Amino acid sequence: MPGDLSIPLTTIVAFLLVLARVSGVFTFVPVPGFAAGPEPVRIVFSLAVTLALFPLWPVVHTVPETGTLVGWLVMEAVMGLTIGLVVGFLSEAFGFFAQLISLHSGHSFASTIDPTTQADSGLIVVMAQSIAGLLFFTLGLHRQVIRIFCASLATHPPGSFTLSAATADAVVRIGATIFSTGLRLALPVIGLLLMADLALALLSRINMQLQLNALAFPAKTLATLAILALLLPVAGMVYQDYAARLFETIPGLIGG
């Protein structure tokens, strides 16, 4: 008797729901080079993750109507986007920190190609985002994302997530932490550059014949690189603390 290789429609519906959530998550998760990778690779990766989560697929007893299915798919994608957006704040905080110090240190004049967006960007910004991507994997945060995703499949079946005003407000409030975290990292560098400017201004005031304008730019550039080297261990701890706070808020966020 030949085997039956047909796939029930309910299984296909469950596959589409999980795929929509997975695709939404990996849209904003700060995986280095993932956004700029070839489209087929990203599609295959999302499909592979979806198939790997087969034991956690939701049980769909009946095939919903077309309108209901589309609504579920949209909400699943929105839920995945919400999780990925909050996780993406990690990289954005480091990018904001790099923008602040680049403007004050003169490194904004040095630019390179951002491997993520393929656009011309500041050298310090690209370095900061690359370091943030390395820390993301070094600290095992990619495993945390998978755990949160698996837990969401168990606690939030299809059709249970709704994008409310409270959820949107919570995302905006969490997004504001990008600026506070970036400012925490940038304040030591900005303070050092401010003291360097004051010292050079005072020397110029004492002796008018000293031409310090030509020395100000290289001095601030070297001072910035020196303090950045000293801040690298602290930046790792700030990144880890910020990641812990973000991951603590995600379950309550998607549960709203």
Per-residue pLDDT at 8: 78
Q: Where are the domains of the chain?
A: 9-255
Judged against a pLDDT cut of 60, whether residue 69 lies above it is answered with: yes
Judged against a pLDDT cut of 60, whether residue 211 lies above it is answered with: yes
Which is nearest to 128 in space by CA: 189, 173, 191? 189
Judged against a pLDDT cut of 80, whether residue 2 lies above it is answered with: no
Is-contact 85 28, C-beta < 8 A?
yes
Judged against a pLDDT cut of 50, whether residue 20 lies above it is answered with: yes
Judged against a pLDDT cut of 80, whether residue 208 lies above it is answered with: no
Q: Is 57 left (phi over 0), alpha (psi -120 to 50) or beta?
A: beta
Judged against a pLDDT cut of 50, whether residue 212 lies above it is answered with: yes
Distance CA 101, CA 99 (A): 6
Pair of tokens at residue 207: 């002796």
Pair of tokens at residue 172: 């905006």
Mean pLDDT, rounded, for 64-93: 85
Tens digit of each residue's pLDDT (9 = 90 or more) over 179-200: 988 888 888 888 888 887 787 7
| 3-class SS letters over the chain | CCCCCCCCHHHHHHHHHHHHHHHHHHHHCCCCCCCCCCHHHHHHHHHHHHHHCHHHCCCCCCCCCHHHHHHHHHHHHHHHHHHHHHHHHHHHHHHHHHHHHHHHHCHHHCEEECCCCCCEEEHHHHHHHHHHHHHHHHCCHHHHHHHHHHHHHHHCCCCCCCCCHHHHHHHHHHHCHHHHHHHHHHHHHHHHHHHHHHHHHHHHHHCCCCCCHHHHHHHHHHHHHHHHHHHHHHHHHHHHHHHHHHHHHHHHHHHC
Highest mean pLDDT among 111-120, 198-207, 240-249: 240-249
Per-residue pLDDT band at 111 (split at 50, 70, 90): low
Is-contact 80 45, C-beta < 8 A?
no
Per-residue pLDDT at 4: 55
Highest mean pLDDT among 56-70, 100-114, 130-144, 148-162: 130-144
Per-residue pLDDT band at 10 (split at 50, 70, 90): confident
Per-residue pLDDT at 1: 44
Tens digit of each residue's pLDDT (9 = 90 or more) over 25-37: 777 776 666 666 6
Which is nearest to 110 in space by CA: 133, 127, 93? 127
Per-residue pLDDT at 116: 60
Judged against a pLDDT cut of 80, whether residue 239 lies above it is answered with: yes
Per-residue pLDDT band at 17 (split at 50, 70, 90): confident
